Amino acid sequence: MERIGFVGLGIMGRPMVKNLLQAGFEVTVWNRSRPGVDECVAAGAAEAESPRAVAEACDLFISMVTDSPDVEEVIVGETGAIHGLKAGTVVVDMSTISPAVTRTIAAQLAEQDVAMLDAPVSGGDSGAIAGTLSIMVGGEADVVERVRPAFEAMGKTITHVGPVGAGQTVKLCNQIAVCINNLAMAEALVFCAQSGVDPSTMLSAITQGAAGSWQLSNLGPKVVERDFAPGFKVALQQKDLRLALEAADELHTPLVGTSLVHQLFAAVEREYGTDVGTQALVRALEGLAGIEVGAPSR
């Protein structure tokens, strides 16, 4: 089995590492903060002192960090993986970043005979814990097949979507659809509450029909219960929407709904901070309507 290096042990990375360990992979880890390292080492991972050191100890290097600059730092930065990778190693970035930055990093790695896949994921922390993530992979088909056993330890649906950079493009499509479904959920809940109908009953009535969505089934009940703890933080959603809008601007493609949600989330960030869950989008609409979903009707 491939020796795996894993950098980025946050809310997603930790359970992903644990699933790799449970599947029998040897995993070496690094993270900027201790809690993630300690948790993964306790589960059986080895620790390295830098991304470069992780790269020196592995055949397959995986990064799961926040944004494009973070990926650049851990892969091609001063202490990045590029300085420790052997020819024939594969780099898999599972973060959500710019497609253009992905292609630039892949070109730098190719100069050292290192292949790269971009393989962002969907499914949130619950999917990471359960090992049921949806993984969208860009890169060469033979490299995808080489890495497939590791993907299957972390995800349920692995889809090869095209060349390097295509994985990030498809993930941004995912985020566009997710955010607008979130807006639809929020508007339905606010309208329902304003109309004096029990929102829980409304959710039961429509989630299995044509209006059904993951957001409606999973986030709708949380809104009714006033649970805004993050499965996916507003800060990360905003980062993804920024990436989508930047990519769309390069293509001269209007994303009207995405732009609106991006602005509504800005209002949420101002009032409630960036660490709340994305279901807090409803709070921007509640503010406009002067009502709270789940509160007793007037």
Q: Which residues are catalytic?
A: 171
Q: Which two tokens stand for residue 224?
A: 């009714």
Phi-psi region of 85 (alpha: psi -120 to 50; beta: other; left: phi over 0): beta
For residues 190 and 282, give the distance between their C-alpha atoms in angstroms, rounded to a whole number.
Answer: 8
Helix axes 99-110, 166-195, angle to 10 degrees: 160
For residues 117 and 139, give the distance between their C-alpha atoms in angstroms, rounded to a whole number.
Answer: 5
**Phi, psi (degrees; rounded to nearest 5) at 93:** -95, 115
Q: Which two tokens stand for residue 233?
A: 């933080």
